[in-house]
Structure 1
Amino acid sequence: MEYSFGFVGVGTMNAAIVRGIATLPAPPKSLDNQAVVDASDVVFVGVLPRLGEEVLRALRFSERHTVRACCAPVPPASVVRAIPLPPVAKQRGACVMTPRHAPVAALFSKLGTVVEVDSEEEMRKMIGITCLMGQLYAQQLAAQSWLQEQGVDAGAAARWVGAVYHTVSYDSATPGPDTFASLVEEQTPGGLNEQVLREMREAGASLALRDSLDDPLGHAAQGRLHGEGRTGRLVVVSEATPQRQTWPAPGFSLSAVPPTPHDTCDEVSVILIGLR
């Protein structure tokens, strides 16, 4: 069974996905918005709500088309929710999604690691881990700054810190349930790695990290996350959504799911899935 994927509205998130797909060994051809419509029976529009009418009025639809405009949160039975991280642009990304959906998982598996969970509750908890990027970069910056304070050239310090973090993460890239615990226990008693680990624990670093995840979890439970950067959700609609209305000319229909008061994401990206 062959699926076609189309994108209308290419913000930060969709742009990263498209770049990742476009640089695959056998990338699909790219289309403009009208070409996406012409090649599809069902079109999902993923642009900011304020741009929806402008985008749709510029497109030509026929009687065979069904148009669905979506904004998260949407009832779980109607959507596959996925949170891909920007390195999907280089096929090195990570994506968590719910519920399990073979075509969507197959797409993102080409762009990195896919983790599928069975419920919205699990999804909310998984999203919080994406908030650890900033603290990881801050830790690397602290290590680079320490090297520079010891007289090491800034460029060499940055390259070495980046290389070390990349190297030591190799063993944990495809973990099982006990991988992280085993790697921690491998540190030689009395060695320098064990000493740094012990001192960081005594300083409360591990507890602080665990506590810091409680705040994103609370926000995710309300359908929102916030931070210094842009936030976004990917919503992949694969079934009919519950609301339907005519838009704006006869001959095709729009299934609209309005945002809720808690929906504060900067952009909503939607992938169209067409069955061929």
Structure 2
Amino acid sequence: MKLGFVGTGAITESVVRGLVKAGNDLEGIAVSPRNADVAARLAALHQLIRVARDNQSVVDSSDIVFLAVRPQVANDIVAGLEFHPGQRVVSFVAGLQLEELAEWTRGIPRLCRAIPVPLVADLHGVTAIFPGDSVVTDLAPLT
């Protein structure tokens, strides 16, 4: 499975660190170049992690796309992306309703929301996921 992260802030860093620690069976993790420092730190963690050229490259190379952008820029970023049938999109965006996200993604991907906490970097804490999606919940540290 290939994962991608649009947005490279503290939550993305925590989740990716947790994914690496958990040893999930992944083919790759693409991170957006938005925050160059965080992206470089993540790429240095593991050979499966790469910094993508742009957000569309993250989407194009991922089975599951995690949206980790600020609410005030989410519409501009997400509406400009082309998602693919069969993809899953997991939103970490605070306050973003799934109905809005479905509009922005033109109803193409399967959607859910998740609320990870920074402790997931060390495989601690609980992540709320709605609606439940077994593929997403099977990814430690999101269990």
**Per-residue deviation, 1:44:** 6.4
How many residue pairs get aligned? The number is: 102
Pick from 108, 112, 116 the counterpart of residue 84 of structure 1: 116
Q: Supply the distance in 2 between the matched residues of 1:86 and 1:8 (Cα, whole angstroms).
A: 17
Q: Supply the distance in 1 between the matched residues of 2:67 and 2:115 (Cα, whole angstroms).
A: 18
Pick from 83, 96, 99 the counterpart of residue 66 of structure 1: 83
Please, which runs of 5 or more residues in structure 2 have no aligned partner?
29-47, 103-110
TM-score, normalization: structure 1?
0.29
Q: Is the 8 A contact 2:52 2:58 kept in 1?
A: yes
Q: Supply the distance in 1 between the matched residues of 2:100 and 2:78 (Cα, whole angstroms).
A: 26
The answer to which structure, 1 or 2, has the higher relative contact order (CA under 8 A, 6+ apart) is 1
Structure 1 residues 20 and 11, CA gap change in structure 2 (3 angstroms): same
User: Deviation digits for residues 195-214 of structure 1, max 9, x if unmatched?
Assistant: xxxxxxxxxxxxxxxxxxxx
- Residue 11 of structure 1 is matched in structure 2 by 9
Q: Is the 8 A contact 1:8 1:33 kept in 2?
A: no
Q: Is the 8 A contact 1:7 1:36 kept in 2?
A: yes
- Residue 58 of structure 2 is matched in structure 1 by 36
Q: Supply the distance in 1 between the matched residues of 2:64 and 2:114 (Cα, whole angstroms).
A: 20
Q: Supply the distance in 1 between the matched residues of 2:130 and 2:119 (Cα, whole angstroms).
A: 20
Structure 1 residues 51 and 104, CA gap change in structure 2 (3 angstroms): closer
- Residue 135 of structure 2 is matched in structure 1 by 103
Q: Is the 8 A contact 1:17 1:88 kept in 2?
A: yes
Q: Supply the distance in 2 between the matched residues of 1:98 and 1:51 (Cα, whole angstroms).
A: 19
Q: Is the 8 A contact 1:16 1:88 kept in 2?
A: yes
**Per-residue deviation, 1:77:** 10
Q: Supply the distance in 1 between the matched residues of 2:136 and 2:13 (Cα, whole angstroms).
A: 17
Q: Supply the distance in 1 between the matched residues of 2:13 and 2:74 (Cα, whole angstroms).
A: 17
The 5-angstrom pairing of residues 1-276 of structure 1 reads 3-25=1-23, 28=28, 29-34=48-53, 35-40=57-62, 46-48=68-70, 49-50=72-73, 65-66=82-83, 72-75=96-99, 79-107=111-139, 110-111=140-141, 114=143
Q: Aligned Cα RMSD in Å?
A: 4.0
User: Deviation digits for residues 122-171 of structure 1, max 9, x if unmatched?
Assistant: xxxxxxxxxxxxxxxxxxxxxxxxxxxxxxxxxxxxxxxxxxxxxxxxxx
Q: Is the 8 A contact 1:43 1:66 kept in 2?
A: no
Q: Supply the distance in 1 between the matched residues of 2:51 and 2:121 (Cα, whole angstroms).
A: 19
Please, which runs of 5 or more residues in structure 1 have no aligned partner?
115-276
Q: Supply the distance in 2 between the matched residues of 1:98 and 1:50 (Cα, whole angstroms).
A: 22
**Per-residue deviation, 1:47:** 2.3
User: Deviation digits for residues 225-245 of structure 1, max 9, x if unmatched?
Assistant: xxxxxxxxxxxxxxxxxxxxx
Q: Supply the distance in 2 between the matched residues of 1:45 and 1:31 (Cα, whole angstroms).
A: 17
SS in 2 for 1:7: strand
The one-letter code matched in structure 1 to 2:3 is: F
Structure 1 residues 22 and 52, CA gap change in structure 2 (3 angstroms): farther
SS in 1 for 2:50: coil
Structure 1 residues 33 and 47, CA gap change in structure 2 (3 angstroms): farther
Higher helix share: 1
**Per-residue deviation, 1:32:** 1.6
The one-letter code matched in structure 2 to 1:82 is: A
**Percent sequence identity over aligned pairs:** 27
The one-letter code matched in structure 2 to 1:102 is: S
Q: Supply the distance in 2 between the matched residues of 1:54 and 1:36 (Cα, whole angstroms).
A: 12
The one-letter code matched in structure 2 to 1:47 is: V
**Which structure would you say has the larger Rg?**
1
Structure 1 residues 40 and 100, CA gap change in structure 2 (3 angstroms): closer
